[in-house]
Structure 1
Amino acid sequence: MTSPQPPTTTLPAMILAGGRATRMGGGDKPLLPLGGRSMLAHVLDRLRPQAGPVALNANGDPARFAAFGLPVRADSLPDHPGPLAGVLAALDWAAGIGADHVLTVAGDTPFLPPDLTLRLQAARGPRGLALAASRTPGGETREHPTVGLWPVALRDDLAATLAAGQRRMRVFTARHQPGLALWPGDPDPFANINTPDDLARAEARLAAL
């Protein structure tokens, strides 16, 4: 069990952008335009006021992200094994800078809440893991495991899990008893962009803000 720690807004954060975006025709979803700027710019606007150093998990040539001035860390495993590999990259990076926790967010979630970091810290489970969740209009709880606060102490177990070919994020997180930080889900602050229709809805939502 982890010892309670005071909340802070200086935690390192990694934006997970290592996917292949097949439903968007391939390429980098975070670089798609949204409201005249890249989606990644919107994510950074929401994230930077509530985090310390920020890095990006992305595969391929990091030069395409040079304008953002972020450290870019690729998956340590080949063949795009999924978001857990991005979390491992985040844990490896956090360990390298001496942090004991790291915040992760998805690179296609441009409406992150301004109290994300503080509420995740308050929700940590017995092993230090906390995940974001939202309540649907029907009253159901929807977990968003790519948005979470991860203890670096999980790093070795996650590496072994991936090496064994196990890639299901919810199976891994359930084993480590995550706490849930719950937000209202109408509109969902963790709505992500998977299809052109999602992007159109995000444009309309942004215009209404």
Structure 2
Amino acid sequence: MTATLLEVKGLKLHFPVHGGILYRRVGTVYAVDGVSLDVKAGETVGLVGESGCGKSTLGKAILRLYDPTDGQVMFEGRDLAHVHGKELRTLRKDLGIIFQDPYESLNQTHTVGFIVQEPFLIHGVGTPEERRVWAKDLLKKVGLPESAFDRYPHEFSGGQRQRIGIARATSSPSSSSATSPSPRSTSPSRARSSTS
């Protein structure tokens, strides 16, 4: 029996809406409202829904980029609500997110090589040369040429930028969270990405 890697129970993320001259609370946006799911090691799960239905928000809440209003997120048996600071940064080595909009999610002032290496750098993994080799290998696995390493995100098509995001998200995670399927990516690149 395969162990559960990620368990989400009754996750809610509500945002207050403020308005008027005194900026009073005038309502609530129920961005995520009672979502539960389990992901086993080695399993792939896709979220499908219309634009604005909360897919990206759910991914960000699972990764603690937003603090949930209610519910529980367990990763490898640990409740992420009780993980903070250095411990949370350490856990994030094993978590990744592939954002829906590749252009907005990539820092345009950095080369693709730096963007893909950054998770290794943040977590102090490997030497500079090892990080460079790993990043080039990840770019190759998502179907990008080695020359992509020294280029900038604005030089790529939407589908290629999506692949850069996938390479970055898979820079050592045991779990990745994709906020939406990418129609920009070709089928072969999606196949390479999912089997890497």
TM-score by length of 1: 0.22
Higher share in strand:
2
Rg: which structure is higher? 2
TM-score by length of 2: 0.23
